[in-house]
Amino acid sequence: MNKKPTAPIKSTTQEFIEIRKIQDDIVLLKDGSCCLVIETSAINFSLLSEEEQNSLVYAFGSLLNSLSFAIQIAIISSKMNISDYLEYLEKSLQKQNQPEIKDWLIKYIEFIKSIVTQNSVLKKRFFLIIPFSTLEMGIKGSAPSSFSTDYLLQRAKTALYPKKDHILRLLARVGLRSQVLVKTELVNFYYNLYNPSATGVDMIDGDMFESYLVHGQ
């Protein structure tokens, strides 16, 4: 029985990635929309007193109520590899000469190993995404293909930068450290997001790897 020839697979992962270009701190998507990504620190809510918790909830509620534009909140969880940390502890144990401290180190290492055995240790990262839609450009904005990439990015910066500054001020008032992700950080972030097995890979130069992420070249 003759088998029918199978058509070659032409689709690539890049066809499913919505990113068209990353320039400076702006992500341009294939539909013409853009976004700006802010990473923020976290607060261990359970360690705060009841008064501090209530104050923080009120402050965060005020932050959200003060916004006159849409934002997205994203939380990325990934498993942490603490083998390097355990290796560091083992080396510290070997160098330690004081019996009491050595005994505490042994107990601490056993404690860490028991946590890793019984539970998955997760690293969480928190992001605020400020979107920009071509509809904000008016009626003609509904046809993003009629505009050049540079023009779309320039309009996005004009709309997003005042919102970014406002968000950064509000986060500082709540006591959160925050930073805007720039090109190399964005490429690293999206590369690891689309390649879970490569989580933790940090690229030196975003320009060098952007074509692999977006164009597959």
Q: Which domain holds residue 163?
A: 18-78+123-181
In a domain, 62, yes or no: yes
Quote the CA–CA distance of 198 and 104 in Å, as a whole number.
35
* Same domain (yes/no): 173, 88: no
The count of domains in the chain is: 2
pLDDT tens, 55-110? 888 888 888 888 889 999 998 887 777 777 888 888 888 888 888 888 898 888 88
Tokens coding 93? 């144990």
Contact 193, 19 (CB under 8 A): no
Alpha-carbon distance values, 1 to 6, 7, 8, 102 (Å): 15, 18, 21, 73
Q: Is 85 a member of any domain?
A: yes
Q: Which two tokens stand for residue 144?
A: 């993003």
Please report the pLDDT score of residue 127 as a whole number: 94
Same domain as 177, residue 158: yes
The reported pTM is: 0.71
Beta bridge partners, 78, equal 123
92 lies in a domain?
Answer: yes
For residues 134-157, give the mean pLDDT: 77
Nearest to 74 by CA among 214, 189, 196: 189
> Does one domain contain both 72 and 48?
yes
Q: How confident is the model at residue 191 (pLDDT cuts 50, 70, 90)?
A: confident
Q: What is the pLDDT of residue 159?
A: 93
The mean of the pLDDT values for the chain is 80
Position 34 scores a pLDDT of 92
